Amino acid sequence: MTSAPGSRAARLAPFAALLVAASALTACAPQEAKTGGAASPATGAGSAQAAGDCAKGALATRKAGTLTVGTDKPAYAPWFSDDKPANGNGFESAVAYAVAERLGYGKDKVDWVVSPFNKAFAPGAKDFDFDINQVSINDDRRKSVDFSSGYYDVRQAVVALKGSKFAGAAGLAGLKGARLGAQVGTTSLASITDQIKPSGPPAVFDDNDLAKAALKNGQIDALVVDLPTAFYITGAEVTDAKVVGQLEGGSGAEQFGLVLDKGSTLTGCVSQAVNALRSDGTLAKLEQQWLSDAVSAPVLK
């Protein structure tokens, strides 16, 4: 993930080089191959909508004729580019526009609004038609919001400075004594307590910029983030850090989903759009274009 917006363009170059190197070792596996084409079911009143009810460009959106999409600020790479969700660059920006197109809304009919990460899936009315911000689908969050079908299969990863004694950890046992940190409210944080189970409590940060600063300053020994973000951090932001490894349970066990208001009449239509993008290979192509392959991240058991 990026820090100051003004420095993002320069930092994308080394990350792009990292992606090219990874691709040279092995081709990025299509999403269909990783999940068998399965998609997480959506919930809510709208999930039962038939395809005929999803009139293109004429859905019951917040503003007639316009699709309002939410995400956090700053909007981090590789999910977005230059902190500008509307430019269509970055995996999630591209996915949002692909979903919008499927629903009958061109790029000029998409409005972006700022929605902080934790607020996006908190109880209460939303100011977006759907939100896209690396929000993992889980039953607890389903109590407050609807989710679309999953659009990305998530793996969590551990990042440590190259000089750290934990950089060479070959398994979870090697991280037991580490001071670990993650962003508040994320599945990355839950992975620390549920999977790694270190001897001490994890450090919790309001955002990943603060967590990265803590890693650089030695306040924590390692940071847990999703795998594409881990590759971006080590390739473009904290270049004296490395991806120690990825955690088990990523092959379809955890997915990012689009967030909608609880009981939204749009949920079914949005899920149909995501399913179509998965079936026709669009999601796999966008993943290949914008996200890193996991060739250099061993599984930590």
The answer, yes or no, to whether residue 286 has pLDDT greater than 60, is yes
Mean predicted lDDT score pLDDT of the chain = 85
Task: Tell me phi and psi for residue 240, to 5 degrees.
Answer: -95, 20
pLDDT digits (tens, 9 = 90+) for 104-143: 999 999 999 999 999 999 999 999 999 999 999 999 999 9
Tell me what pLDDT residue 10 has. Answer: 38
Q: Which CATH architecture has domain 156-247?
A: 3-Layer(aba) Sandwich (3.40)
pTM of the model: 0.78
Higher pLDDT, 24 or 189: 189
- 38-153+254-291 maps to which CATH number? 3.40.190.10
Tell me what pLDDT residue 269 has. Answer: 98
Domain ranges of the chain: 38-153+254-291, 156-247
pLDDT category of residue 11 using cuts at 50, 70 and 90: very low
Question: What's the mean pLDDT in 92-101?
Answer: 98
Q: Are 102 and 113 contacting, i.e. CB atoms less than 8 angstroms apart?
A: no
Q: Are 71 and 175 contacting, i.e. CB atoms less than 8 angstroms apart?
A: no
pLDDT category of residue 37 using cuts at 50, 70 and 90: very low
Nearest to 221 by CA among 265, 255, 174, 282: 174
* Same-fold call for 38-153+254-291 versus 156-247: yes
- Tokens matching residue 75: 């909007």
Alpha-carbon span 121 to 69, nearest angstrom: 14
Instruction: Report how far apart the first and last C-alpha atoms of the chain are (Å, whole number).
Output: 26
What is each CA distance from 222 to 175, 182, 185, 188, 240, in whole angstroms?
Answer: 9, 9, 18, 12, 13
